[in-house]
Structure 1
Amino acid sequence: MIRSTRRERGALVDALGVAARATPLTLAALVVLTVVAAVLPVAVAWCTKVLLDRVAAGTASWPELAGAVAGLLTAGLAGGVQPHLTQYLRAELDRRASLAAQDRLYAAVNRFHGLARFEDPAFLDRLRIAQFNGINAPAELTNTALGLTSTFVTLGGFFGSLLVISPVMAWIVLLGGVPTLLGEMRLARARVGITLDTSQAQRREMFFASLLADVQAAKEVRLFNLGDHFRRLMLRERLDINRLNRRMDRRTVLTQGGLALLAAGVAAGGLLWAVKAALDGRLGVGDIVVFLAAITAVQSSVGGLAAGVAFGRQHLLIFRHYRAVTAAGPDLPDGEPDTAMPPLRRGIELRNVWFRYSDEHPWVLRGVSLTIPYGQSLALVGVNGAGKSTLAKLLCRFYDPTRGAILWDGVDLRAVPVAALRERVSAVFQDFMTFDLTARENIALGDLANGADPAAIERAAERAGIGAQLAALPDGYETMLTRSFAGDSDSGGALGVPLSGGQWQRVALARALLRRGRDFILLDEPSSGLDPEAEYRMHEELLTHRSGGTSLLISHRLGMVRTADVIVVLEDGVVVEQGTHRDLLATGGVYARAFNRQASGYVAEIGSAR
């Protein structure tokens, strides 16, 4: 319990610190306005009491009433301006604090070097809460803290007023609000529980909704008539979410309804006492006004205090998930920042590498040992699921081996900074990204340090076999390669131009080729979406690019790999064959059978054509 309280206190200080650092002057102004707003009701009540008491006495002169009237006028003016100014400043606080929180969250996410956390459902649930709720929590908690400050000041002023009139009634009214406070805090804890319970369902709902509206899925959704199916799945998740929320709403109504009846009973008792005291001559007209205002304000303040504490606790618990993401330690061990990454001179060695994604998963790689010699090309072949792409991910350090080591000129990759390694590596992945940006930007992302050089971008595009096609687009390299963010054709705006799968693959290759001078290039199925002519040109270009460089090529098209210096065959995560194309054909093993099977199809077609 104590540890939980300390965590919540630390989270609150952190959240308030985010807002204070984001906009200190705005926060200071809000504090002043909050205190003014809290004092105004008490000041109005007492000015009214003085005014009524003197008028009721029948002996008051204008000079005696001037102070009370001036106080009421001043309070009225302040009360008229304060809400609008507060609303403006709170909006500014929300904008700046949310921006700071968003930047902090994604800066933390960007520090995750590997992929494991992005494949962990528990982490993804926490990240979703941080993205959609936690980013707003610093502003919400700051506003709640300001609201509670205002409530405390108002409560203190009116509670003091009640103490002056009737100490007994003051304590009865105050203690009558304790059940409300406790009830609201229990509701807040339950609401956070609902947020956690519905997190996975909300992610699934968003997934099914995206399939219904995403251009990438549109073809298959319509061809296979999947729209109604995914819509039903989406609605099923929403119905499950609504069921849990409805249960929470019922609990809220019953709890708050019972607490409201209790508060009404206390107020009615106070009203009866005030009427009797007035009839007995113990209270004057002004006293009754102050008493009625005070009893209403105290009850309202206690209720507001309970709601504010509950609301704040709810956002505090949510913010703890945000903090858990932003404070998460490294997902992969990183070398010392000043550790130099030497240029590759001898080669890359995988030494008895075993890997599985978790203890519950089967082994993907089992005792893989191989060397990619410096200045040579190694091709990796095997059936789907053999572990080829996993091995590529290990070489880029998206994961670390479960056992064994990967050595760069004899240095374990875990001993050098991840960023330093990736500065020396370029890659084209099988599941390459298609960025909704211009053609120039899509290629420039491969090397932001040199991406501003138009000539380098165009050279990379030419070498990837896509330069002429990009230059022929309506705005050349400045053409958006998407219709998601381009101008509306109805309003005369320029439409983006979507590319084919093969064209996108060549853009991805151009992005990798822009990173010239890298020690190691990794090509995972770089020609899977290309037509034969484009594949041939890419093959020739890659031969030129790989000449003298160190590279790893993964491909099912064995014609692409036959020129590699070394070919390695993976089967069920184990190296079963290794050698040159000629050597492996001579052995008549797995590679030879696969190569002959592919070649026989082409030979048969040529023979039948004759």
Structure 2
Amino acid sequence: MTEATAVPARRIPGHLRAAVRLAAAAAPGILLAYALATVTAGAGPVAAAALLRTLLDRLADGRGGAELLPLGVALAVVGLLVGAVPASTAYLHSRLLRAVGVRAMDRLYQAMNRITGIGAMENPGFRDRLRLAQQSGRSGPGQLVDDALGVLSALITLTGFIGVLIALSPWLALFVVAAAVPAFIAQLRLNRQHATMMWQVSGRARREAHYAELLTTLAAAKEIRLLGLGGLFRTRMLREMTAVNAEEARQDGRELRTRTALAVLTAVVAGGGLVWALVQAGRGRLSIGDIALLVAAVGGVQVAVGGLVDRFASAHQNALLFDHYQNIVDAGPDLPAPAEPLPAPALRTGIELRDVWFRYAPDTPWVLRGVNLTIPYGRTVALVGLNGAGKSTLVKLLCRFYDPTAGTITWDGTDLRDLDVAALRDRIGAVFQDFMAYELSAAENVGLGDAAALDDRARIESAARRAEVHDTVLALPDGYDTMLTNVYYDEQDRDDPATGVLLSGGQWQRLALARAFMRDDRSLLILDEPTAGLDPQAEHDLHDRLRRHRQGRTSVLISHRLGTVRDADVIVVLADGVVVEQGTHEELLAAGTGYAKLFRLQASGYAEPMARVGGDRC
């Protein structure tokens, strides 16, 4: 048993209370009705058995119809209630699950919004917990409440029938109860093993899902078909699936052996009780009604014990999985927040990095090592360097997706950690290299840059014009209202142009730029490879536009194409997480070091083909 499964087991009562609070907040009336129906379901069989005993004994005594009629009516009413309860509880159960599921998932996503950084999202262990939290959050809290009420119902039935058995024979009651103890222990062990198994195979399940996604998504379709990778990924997917199935089969075998043994024990107890009753009846110690009641009680105890074990085991398993939900819901912010965060004013002097060190985890290499850098107000600072130099990591720190491991970053002299993080980010506009392509309308893809202006079509169109994507959007079937996806529609809708379209990579990149232009008045503009998906002419035109847009604005520009950063006020060269050069383009060329060599290398790639073209024309 792992710590991941042992520790949550001790928190089951707390999880049950949390689930009941969720249900009471989501649907108090339905919860109350469901609880009453559950009590009726538990008490009904005991009441019916007691009435049947009295009725049979009076029949055996030769009592008249006048005395039997009230008993018959009472028995019919109880039978009617017991018969109607399953349909009612099924309806209430469905209503409760839906209501609690909505409330629980809302709490989960509220908690996700409290995670202001991205360190957790980049952690595979957290993503595993989040996946399990999403699975258990939708139905888990409702199931826990259902399990708790099921335990209550079984306890009512069990208590009633044990009382009957004690009245008939205390020794028989003790025997029946003692036989139930192994069932509890065995079932709890099975469910703990099952939860452990699920946790152990979660990594394989994630890899299986990844390979399945590669085989079925459009993003990977071209490379997989061109490179002939379908068979390879299918084999890997089946290998992971087979490994998961093997673990599940071993668990199924353990459950089969245990439950078979429990079934035999149940049969022995029931058979023994019946034999004892017949012997006692032969000696005149039990009436016909007593025998009927005893048979009902022994059977009822076995059914109640089975239900109690199943419900308790289900609650145990659901609580273990619900622990992942609770861990995320109860987690505090991932980035430390000051008791009284300061507002983030409009930038006036600049941003400064002082001896900034950063690594993603204590056991990983340093990504930034002692970086000292000033981003002056109103100036453009370009970050260049080879892959892995730390450029994108530095951008993450500027947006406060992470905090420096050591050192400080200041905004007009104030440490970013002292500022309200939401207010800080509201001062920043950005186009990330891995920008989002939202499966929403074209207007929303632009307007999300400033959610407050999501319905401001004039601003949206203005931003699109500046990104030179306005004409492209107008040419779509529904213009700005065109859905940029077709995943929401049925197959029969595919011929309808209103169902949505798919854009090219360059068109998506222009929309991402337009989204950044929605934040035109922000203090800091971050452009991380903003034209990587464009053709040379479009890239040249857009960089001219971006150059004009950056004038007088504080901006950070990242690009591997050094020709696009030559007009920056300051060019900073990063290598292995260290600032190795900085200055203007002319200063760095004059220095003749790494930047100059890399620039001339890139320039020669254009100069040589042009020379050949010129020679051919001569």
Band the TM-score falls in, shorter-chain normalisation = over 0.9
SS at match of 1:342: coil
Shift of 1:323: 0.9
Q: Distance in 1 between matches of 2:123 and 2:556?
A: 29
Give the equivalent residue in structure 1 for 2:532. 528
1:571 aligns with 2:575: yes
| C-alpha distance in 2 between matches for 1:71 and 1:153 | 20
- Residue of structure 2 in register with 1:29 after alignment: 33
**Farther-moved stretch of structure 1 (464-473 vs 297-306):** 297-306
Provide the residue aligned with 1:226 in structure 2.
229
Determine whether 1:496 maps to 2:500. yes
Give the equivalent residue in structure 1 for 2:333: 330
Corresponding position of 2:69: 66
Shift of 1:526: 0.4
Choose the corresponding residue for 2:88, options 85, 101, 104. 85
Deviation at 1:167, TM superposition (A): 1.8
Matched, 1:382 2:385: yes
* Match of residue 19 from structure 1: 23
Query: What's the Cα RMSD here?
Result: 1.7
1:97 Cα deviation from its structure 2 partner: 0.8
Match of 1:459 among 458, 462, 472: 462
Are the equivalent residues in 1 in contact too, given 2:8–2:319 (CA < 8 A)? no
1:237 partnered with 2:240: yes
Structure 1 pair 94/574, CA: closer, same or farther in 2 (3 Å)? same
User: Match of 1:223, SS?
Assistant: helix
CA change 1:451–1:566 in 2 (3 A) is same
Does 2:274 align with 1:271? Answer: yes
Could you tell me whether the CA contact under 8 Å between 2:344 and 2:423 is conserved in 1? yes
User: Is 2:426 the counterpart of 1:423?
Assistant: yes
Q: Give per-residue Cα distances to partners, 1:24-78, cap 9 Å, x unaligned.
A: 10000011111111121112112211222122222x2111001111012112221
Q: Which amino acid aligns with 1:270?
A: G
Q: Look up the match of 2:367.
A: 364
- Which residue pairs with 2:206 in the alignment? 203
CA distance in 1, matches of 2:148, 2:387: 57
Out of 145, 152, 164, the residue aligned to residue 142 of structure 1 is 145
Q: d(CA) in 2 for partners of 1:487 and 1:195? A: 34
SS of the residue corresponding to residue 409 of structure 2 reads strand
Q: CA deviation at 1:4?
A: 6.7
Task: Give the aligned partner of residue 403 of structure 2.
Answer: 400
**Cα–Cα, structure 1 residues 500 and 558, in superposed 2: closer, same or farther, change >3 Å?**
same
**Match of residue 543 from structure 1:** 547
Q: CA deviation at 1:543?
A: 1.5
Distance 1:583 1:3 in 2: 61
Shift of 1:334: 2.0
Letter in 2 for 1:257: T
Out of 215, 219, 225, the position equivalent to 1:216 is 219
Are the equivalent residues in 1 in contact too, given 2:9–2:316 (CA < 8 A)?
no
1:117 corresponds to which residue?
Answer: 120
What is residue 283 of structure 1 aligned with on the other side? 286
1:595 matches 2:588: no
Q: Distance in 2 between matches of 1:342 and 1:364?
A: 29
SS in 1 for 2:450: coil
Tell me the distance in 1 between the aligned counterparts of 2:67 and 2:318: 50
Match of 2:516 in 1: 512
1:489 Cα deviation after fit: 4.8
Task: Write the distance in 1 (CA, Å) between the matches of 2:168 and 2:490.
Answer: 69
Partner of 1:317: helix, strand, or coil?
A: helix
Amino acid at match of 1:54: R
SS at structure 2 position matched to 1:177 = helix
Q: Tell me the residue number matched to 2:565.
A: 561
String of CA shifts for 1:216-265, please: whole Å, max 9, x gaps: 11111111111121111111111111111111111111111112211211
Q: Give yes or no for contact 1:336–1:416 (8 Å, CA) kept in 2.
A: no
Query: Are residue 95 (structure 1) and residue 91 (structure 2) matched?
Result: no
Give, in angstroms, the shift of residue 280 of structure 1: 1.2
Q: Which amino acid aligns with 1:437?
A: L
Matched residues in 2 for 1:29 and 1:399: separation?
A: 48
Match of 2:536, as an amino acid? P
Of the structure 1 ranges 151-160 and 589-598, higher mean CA displacement relative to structure 2 is found in 589-598
Q: Report the CA distance shift for 1:384/1:492 in structure 2 as closer, same or farther (over 3 A).
A: closer
Deviation at 1:457, TM superposition (A): 0.6
Matched residues, number: 609
Q: Which amino acid aligns with 1:333?
A: P
**Mind listing any 5+ residue stretches in structure 1 that lack a counterpart?**
none
Q: Are residues 1:247 and 2:250 paired?
A: yes
Deviations, residues 178-202 of structure 1 (Å, cap 9, x unaligned): 1111111111111111111111111
Kept in 2, the 8 Å contact 1:339–1:416? The answer is: yes
Residue 133 of structure 1 deviates from its aligned partner by 2.3
Work out the CA distance in 1 between the residues paired with 2:151 and 2:493: 51
Contact conserved, 1:465 with 1:537, CA < 8 A, in 2?
no
Q: Secondary structure at the match of 2:453?
A: coil
More deviation, 556-565/479-488: 479-488
Identity %: 51
State the one-letter code of the partner of 1:384. Answer: N
CA contact (8 A) 1:185 1:310 kept: yes
Instruction: Return the alpha-carbon distance in structure 1 between the equivalents of residues 41 and 279 of structure 2.
Output: 33
Shift of 1:481: 1.2
Cα displacement (A) at 1:110: 1.7
Provide Cα deviations, 1:451-509, integer angstroms capped at 9, x if missing partner.
21001111111101111001110110111112212454557543421111111111111
1:145-183 per-residue CA deviation (whole Å, 9 max, x = no partner) reads 111111111111111111222221111111111111111
User: Is residue 128–residue 199 contact of structure 1 (8 Å, CA) maintained in 2?
Assistant: no
SS in structure 2 opposite 1:447?
helix
CA contact (8 A) 2:24 2:31 kept: yes
| Comparing 37-46 and 3-12, the one that deviates more | 3-12
Q: Identify the match of residue 415 of structure 2 among 412, 416, 423.
A: 412
* Cα-to-partner distance string for 1:377-434 (whole Å, 9 max, x where unaligned): 1111111111111111111111111111111111111111211110000100111111
Corresponding residue number in structure 2 for 1:187: 190
Matched letter for residue 537 of structure 1: D
Give the SS at the match of 2:574: strand
